[in-house]
């Protein structure tokens, strides 16, 4: 095979046209495999309705090739709604009727299938149509068939809803004569809200994964059948022009060399060694193991007609090709065009054109050829060799202004001599280090402490340099929703003085401090009163020293006054009881009347709506951390709420620079998974993102960062208050407020 050389020489400096206002260096130059490219066209795509319409348009108009890379794939997904064709049908028609070469490459790990099935319908073996092929047997079609647990629970809940509605109406008619009825009416209203939420949950069913169900929800048996049959047809080579491959982190995907164990572990051991060698004190070995044993291929891209050069089109995506990623900008609580039980869902992608398509193709070909059989590798032309004649200049668009660069995380494929690529991490660090006015992050996760530390340091640098205004940091993210991730989010919030936005975690830290203080007192007493041997004496000294250090750390971290701390310690038993009842509600259990009354009384004393978090601001840095919420009004004019799931991965700095990628703000995306993105100093693109998103989330875009910050802070605070009181929201933006996630060491 011929060596595929990197054509950096295609772009002498004289031909590059930088359109940013400043001369700051925004490019990844140390960890990158691909250089910055000139004359690149970029079009932001906000939410699934636009993004998937663009994917469908690219597929329908392809004349020669369609290349798809994604973390997940569902052949039954409809890209356009309400009557669009399934993506599986679209790809088959292009391969069969138009003779287009279709290649689809998706991540698949058989153990991870038990947590979330990335390839909906192919199951463990990838063959479809059997227990091992699709997760359910041929004739198990509808999981919620008569007599099944979901249907029986639904019938029971509907009966309970009727009883509660009747009781509430009866009490409302007697309320004037008996004021005590007001408490009962309030309890019944909350019970009805819980019932409605549980009925909503049941409507979701099992989509695609955990090996249960091969496609669609429990109410869509036709999609179960379709996805199983689609994969059986594809694997039987019924459509020769459509090739579907899955990938993992295998040294030798075809198993020609080495044992199966060596094949599966080689790259994982390399990732573990690299992460362990740079592990900080706050990172547990368990976390490093989780990152290295279960890395995922998380890239998302579409490339069509690459070999036709001027006809070539590309997409760099945050969206996966799963049906739950489809939504409109409205993020309605009930959206008839969304699949049953999914959403609302906030996500971002973009169309790209120009010489960066060379880099997208190289990324695709390298992965695709790695999976090719040895027969192809030894006796035939690889895909990279087939396309080697095309150069970046062949794809350049002279009419487009501005530069851009493809950046990646890739633990096994980097520039010569590197062996890995961390250019997304480099791009984040470089761009945040250039910030002078504001940083905007809209990201699924918010748990990479080094970024918070860097933003603090950048604000201090600006102050030291005599800046007359603050640096503003706008953050939109999800609640962790799992203790597996709480410590990483809490630590990041703590860095910028926002840790009281996780009051449950802070309560846990107060209780842990009390526990460690009691343990320390006990050990110190034993050390004074008992001399049971030299070794045990040394052990106690070591244990005491460790506890004293833990206590100092906790005392510094908690940052609440002594009165609040004492109050929490005194009422620890009541708070734990309230949390246990809250957890029952969150799990969909219906409280009996006595429990509901008890929870109401505990919430009146210890409830989170009684807390006004104290936010500690660093001089020169203003931070606002928010989430997104959709609501619907009940018949009694109260409201129910549903979190808008944020899957976006966007960074904008000063409206001069943007970075759109598949990478989350966590260690997994920055260091161990494969990720793909595009970035550059493109003021027009950056402003297009912020104009649309600020208006979408807060109803308007103000003229300065200070005015935007004041507007965001006020909207987030007011909406949180309205949400706690069951009132309609002013916009979708609300304060980040995680009252459910307990403290635990993060494993991701």
Query: According to the 3-state scheme, what is the secondary structure of 512-549?
Result: HHHHHHHHHHHHHHHHHHCCCCHHHHHHHHHHHHHHHH
- The predicted pLDDT at position 587 comes to 72
Q: Does the pLDDT value for residue 213 go beyond 70?
A: no
Residue 125: pLDDT band (50, 70, 90) is low
At 568, which helix (H) or strand (E)?
helix 562-570
End-to-end CA separation in angstroms for the chain: 39
Q: Please, which residues have CB within 8 angstroms of residue 212's CB and are 6 or more apart in sequence?
A: 135, 136, 143, 206
Instruction: Look at residue 126 in the predicted model and tell me its pLDDT.
Output: 61
Q: Is 635 left (phi over 0), alpha (psi -120 to 50) or beta?
A: alpha
Kindly list the distances between the CA atom of residue 567 and the CA atoms of 515, 529, 575, 605, 606, in Å, as whole numbers in the listed order: 15, 32, 11, 11, 10
Pairwise CA distance, residues 561 & 554, whole Å: 13
Q: Confidence class of residue 536 from pLDDT cuts 50, 70 and 90?
A: confident
More confident residue, 294 or 509: 509
Residue 142 has pLDDT above 60, yes or no: no
Q: How many CA atoms lie within 13 A of 392 on its CB side?
A: 22
Task: Report the chain's C-alpha Rg in angstroms.
Answer: 28
Q: Is 442 helix (H, G, I), strand (E, B) or coil?
A: strand
With contact defined as beta carbons under 8 Å apart, do 231 and 126 qualify?
A: yes
DSSP category for residue 447 = B
pLDDT attached to residue 14: 37
pLDDT at 80 over 50: yes
- In angstroms, the Cα distances linking 178 to 72, 171, 342 are 57, 9, 43
pLDDT tens per residue, range 37-71: 999 999 999 999 999 999 999 999 999 999 999 99
Cβ(455)–Cβ(440) under 8 Å? Answer: no
The per-residue pLDDT for 16 is: 43
Across the range 402-431, mean pLDDT stands at 95
Query: How do residues 611-662 score in pLDDT, each as one tens digit?
Result: 888 999 899 999 999 999 999 998 888 899 999 999 999 999 999 999 999 9
User: Which range is least confidently modeled, 504-508, 590-594, 687-691?
Assistant: 590-594
Question: Please, how many CA atoms are within 13 Å of residue 503, restricted to the half-sphere of its CB?
Answer: 18
Q: Spell out a b/e string for 276-303, using b for 16 or more CB atoms within 10 Å of the CB, else e.
A: eeeeeeebeeebbebbbbbbbbbbbbbb
CB 58 within 8 A of CB 316: no
Q: How many other C-beta atoms can be found within 10 angstroms of the C-beta atom of residue 736?
A: 21
The pLDDT value recorded for residue 138 is 38
pLDDT at 721 over 70: yes
Residue 179's pLDDT is what?
A: 62
| Res. 121: pLDDT tops 60 | yes
More confidently predicted of 325 and 9:
325
Reply yes or no on whether the pLDDT at 139 is more than 60.
no
The answer to whether residue 274 scores a pLDDT higher than 80 is no
If you write DSSP's letter for every residue of 652-677 in order, what string do you get? Answer: EETTTEEEEES--SBHIIIIISBEEE
Task: For residue 319, give the nearest of 661, 628, 60 by alpha carbon.
Answer: 661
Categorize the per-residue pLDDT at 140 as very low, low, confident or very high, splitting at 50, 70 and 90.
very low
Identify the weakest region by mean pLDDT among 73-87, 290-304, 720-734: 290-304
* Residue 578: burial class (beta carbons within 10 Å; 0-12, 13-18, 19+): buried
Which pairing describes strands 301-304 and 65-70: parallel, antiparallel, or unpaired? antiparallel
Residues contacting residue 503 through CB under 8 Å, at least 6 positions apart: 608, 611, 613, 739
Helix 181-204 and helix 149-174: axis angle, to 10°?
160
- pLDDT value of residue 175: 60
Percent of the chain with pLDDT over 70: 85
Please tell me the pTM assigned to this model.
0.88
**Alpha helices for 559-675 (secondary structure H):** 562-570, 572-586, 593-606, 667
Taking only the tens place, the pLDDT of each residue in 180-198 is: 677 777 777 877 877 887 7
Model confidence pLDDT, tens digit, residues 708-718: 999 999 999 99
Asked whether residue 262 carries a pLDDT value surpassing 80, the answer given is no
Q: Using pLDDT thresholds of 50, 70 and 90, give the confidence band for residue 746.
A: confident
H or E element that contains 317 = strand 313-317
pLDDT at residue number 339: 83
Strand partners, 70: 106
Mean pLDDT for the stretch of residues 324-352: 92
Mind giving me the DSSP string for 112-161? GGGT--SBTTTTTTT--SSHHHHSS-GGG--TT-TTSHHHHHHHHHHHHH
pLDDT value for 282: 63
Return the half-sphere exposure (C-beta side, CA atoms, 13 A cut-off) of residue 396: 17
How many CB atoms within 10 Å of residue 10?
17
Give the Å distances, CA to CA, from 551 to 237, 488, 509, 544, 554.
64, 19, 10, 10, 5
Closest CA to 656 of 356, 439, 511, 418: 439
CA 411 to CA 109: how far, in whole Å? 17
User: Which pLDDT value is given to residue 67?
Assistant: 98
Per-chain mean pLDDT for the chain: 86
What does the chain come to in residues? 748
Instruction: Please choose, from the candidates 740, 685, 693, 631, the residue with its C-alpha nearest in 3D space to the C-alpha of residue 193.
Output: 631
Q: How far apart are CA 722 and CA 715, in angstroms?
A: 10
Q: For the chain, how long is the longest CA-to-CA vector?
A: 91
């Amino acid at each position: 095979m011929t060596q595929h050389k990197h054509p950096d020489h295609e772009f002498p400096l004289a031909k590059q046209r930088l359109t940013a206002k400043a001369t700051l260096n925004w490019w990844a130059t140390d960890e990158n495999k691909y250089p910055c490219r000139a004359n690149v066209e970029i079009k932001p795509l906000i939410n699934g309705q636009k993004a998937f319409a663009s994917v469908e348009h690219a597929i329908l108009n392809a004349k020669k090739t369609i290349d798809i890379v994604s973390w997940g794939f569902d052949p039954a997904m409809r890209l356009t709604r309400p009557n669009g064709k399934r993506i599986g049908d679209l790809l088959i028609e292009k391969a069969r009727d138009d003779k287009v070469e279709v290649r689809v490459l998706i991540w698949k790990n058989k153990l991870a299938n038990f947590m979330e099935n990335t390839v909906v319908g192919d199951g463990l073996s990838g063959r479809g149509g059997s227990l091992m092929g699709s997760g359910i047997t041929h004739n198990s079609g509808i999981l919620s068939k008569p007599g099944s647990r979901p249907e029986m629970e639904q019938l029971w809940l509907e009966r309970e809803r009727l009883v509660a509605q009747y009781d509430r109406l009866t009490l409302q008619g007697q309320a004037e004569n008996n004021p005590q009825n007001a408490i009962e009416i309030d309890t019944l209203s909350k019970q009805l809200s819980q019932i409605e939420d549980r009925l909503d949950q049941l409507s979701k069913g099992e989509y695609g994964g955990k090996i249960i169900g091969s496609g669609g929800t429990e109410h869509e048996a036709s999609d179960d059948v379709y996805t199983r049959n689609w994969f059986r047809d594809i694997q039987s080579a019924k459509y020769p022009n459509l090739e579907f491959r899955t990938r993992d982190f295998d040294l030798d995907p075809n198993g020609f060399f080495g044992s199966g164990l060596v094949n599966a572990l080689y790259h994982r051991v390399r990732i573990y060694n690299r992460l362990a060698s740079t592990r900080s004190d706050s990172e547990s070995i368990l976390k490093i193991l989780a990152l290295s044993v279960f890395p995922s291929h998380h890239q998302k891209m579409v490339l069509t007609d690459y070999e036709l050069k001027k006809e070539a089109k590309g997409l760099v995506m945050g969206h996966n090709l799963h049906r739950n990623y489809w939504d409109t900008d409205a993020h309605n609580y009930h959206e008839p065009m969304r699949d049953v039980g999914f959403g609302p869902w906030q996500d971002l992608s973009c169309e790209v054109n120009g010489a960066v398509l060379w880099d997208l193709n190289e990324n695709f070909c390298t992965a695709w050829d790695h999976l090719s059989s040895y027969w192809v590798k030894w006796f035939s032309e690889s895909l990279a060799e087939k396309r080697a004649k095309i150069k970046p200049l062949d794809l350049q668009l002279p009419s487009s202004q501005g530069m851009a660069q493809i950046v990646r995380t890739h633990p096994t494929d980097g520039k010569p001599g590197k062996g890995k690529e961390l250019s997304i991490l480099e791009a984040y660090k470089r761009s945040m280090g250039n910030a002078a006015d504001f940083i905007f992050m809209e990201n699924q996760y918010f748990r990479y402490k080094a970024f918070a530390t860097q933003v603090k340091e950048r604000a201090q640098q600006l102050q030291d340099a005599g800046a007359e205004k603050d640096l503003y940091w706008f953050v939109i993210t999800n609640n962790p929703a799992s203790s597996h991730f709480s410590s990483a989010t809490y630590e990041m919030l703590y860095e910028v003085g926002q840790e009281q936005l996780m009051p449950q975690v802070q309560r846990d830290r107060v209780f842990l401090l009390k526990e460690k203080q009691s343990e320390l007192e006990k050990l110190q007493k034993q050390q004074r009163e008992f001399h049971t041997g030299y070794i045990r004496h040394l052990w106690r000294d070591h244990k005491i020293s460790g506890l004293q250090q833990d206590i100092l750390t906790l005392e510094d971290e908690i940052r609440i006054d002594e009165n609040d701390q004492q109050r929490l310690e005194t009422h620890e038993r009541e708070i734990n009881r309230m949390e246990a009842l809250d957890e029952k509600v969150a799990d969909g259990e219906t409280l009996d009347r006595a429990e509901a009354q008890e929870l109401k009384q505990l919430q009146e004393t210890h409830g989170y709506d009684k807390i006004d978090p104290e936010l500690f601001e660093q001089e020169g840095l203003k931070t606002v951390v928010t989430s997104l919420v959709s609501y619907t009004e009940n018949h009694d004019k109260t409201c129910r709420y549903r979190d808008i799931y944020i899957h976006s991965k966007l960074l904008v700095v000063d409206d001069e620079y943007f970075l759109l990628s598949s990478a989350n703000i966590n260690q997994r995306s920055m260091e161990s998974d494969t990720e793909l993105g595009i970035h550059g100093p493109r003021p027009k693109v950056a402003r297009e993102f912020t104009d649309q998103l600020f208006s979408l989330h807060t109803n308007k875009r103000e003229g300065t960062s200070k005015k935007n910050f004041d507007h965001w802070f006020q909207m987030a605070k007011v909406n949180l208050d309205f949400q706690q009181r069951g009132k309609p929201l002013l916009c979708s933006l609300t304060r980040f407020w995680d009252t459910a996630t307990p403290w635990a060491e993060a494993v991701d």
